[in-house]
Structure 1
Amino acid sequence: MKQVDTITARGRGRWGHHLYDVALRTRRCTRWDATGLRSDDEETYFLDCSPPVGSRAFGEEAARHAFITASFTDLDLADVDPPEPYDAPHWLDPIRGGFLESVTFVADYVQLHWTAGTMNAYRLPRIEVVGGQPVEASDPCYAAHLVRLLGAPVRDVDEVLDLGLVITLDSARMVIPLHSDGHEIVEFGGHVVS
């Protein structure tokens, strides 16, 4: 997966009684399938404001425009020409290089406690051990397999179209399907995938 953020406009505007520095940012996220032959692009549109407001994300550019029109007065935006692209970090980058410290099994989900924070996996990850059979949550030995991953360094994190969220450790990987049914799938560091 590759994420590229592009700043397209900058300015200053009044929201309520306060003035804010404002930037318009577009994120293009490209995900590939496991073969690397098929890809899918998704764009998210951000309104970045100076503190304490922060950023707001919109699924469509028209929704961002409607929000700005309804919320800001005296807004002076200038196009950034040329636009300023830069690679954006993946929301799970903080766990890369760390390790799984502990696991908590909750009634219908699992908490994976990484050195960088806690991830709630509302879909239990499939465990794929190098040279072994995949272990699903329905397997009676699932908990034991998951606990065996404690202390294993995280080598990579990726979102793969036909697999889902893939967390690669030294001798295994965890795969969390990301097919949306309208419910939350995974949560980490304030980022929720549903």
Structure 2
Amino acid sequence: MKLLLACLLCSSFLCAQSTMKYTANAAQPFGKINPTAPPETADYAPLIGTCDCTSTTRKADQSWAEPQDMTWTFKYIMNGNAVQDETLKEDGSHSGSIRQFVADSSRWYVHYYSNTAPTPILSAWEGGKRGDSIVLYRAQKAPNGTEGFFRITFSNISDEGFNWLGEWVNTNETFRFPTWKIVCTKTEDD
């Protein structure tokens, strides 16, 4: 009976390991993309790993603040079917996102969270690849009430790093106002 129980437990453990082979672990700290995931999951492949970044935001007077250092790490989650990122900034403000591609809508849905503005409902951006960039949108009115979007653009994406830009744009994207820019250099990858 003990032998049967030991065999059953061992086979259950081996089964669980083989079904989670794309999850982050000591051997693959950033996980791996699951070959059964939507092909678009690879949109973020060059970002997987850790980058040293410089983050610059606007001050209340609309001038650019002094840049601050931050670390930005991307990894595969949900057994290689989605991407999670985490930022750690020198001023103690930290944030992250869960990025999941939904094949039915052919769009990325990105849910953002932060330690400086915890909310019971996570805000979400949606979008996808546009050329060599990844572009995401969330509806947001300008301070004067003009309809528009907050647009996030990942650009200059390579195995060496990427640029990130957050900006308000009007609905037809003829006007834009950048509010946050980040430049990242890869320091660790899979």
| TM-score computed with the length of structure 2 as normaliser | 0.29
| TM-score computed with the length of structure 1 as normaliser | 0.28
| Structure showing the higher strand proportion among its residues | 1
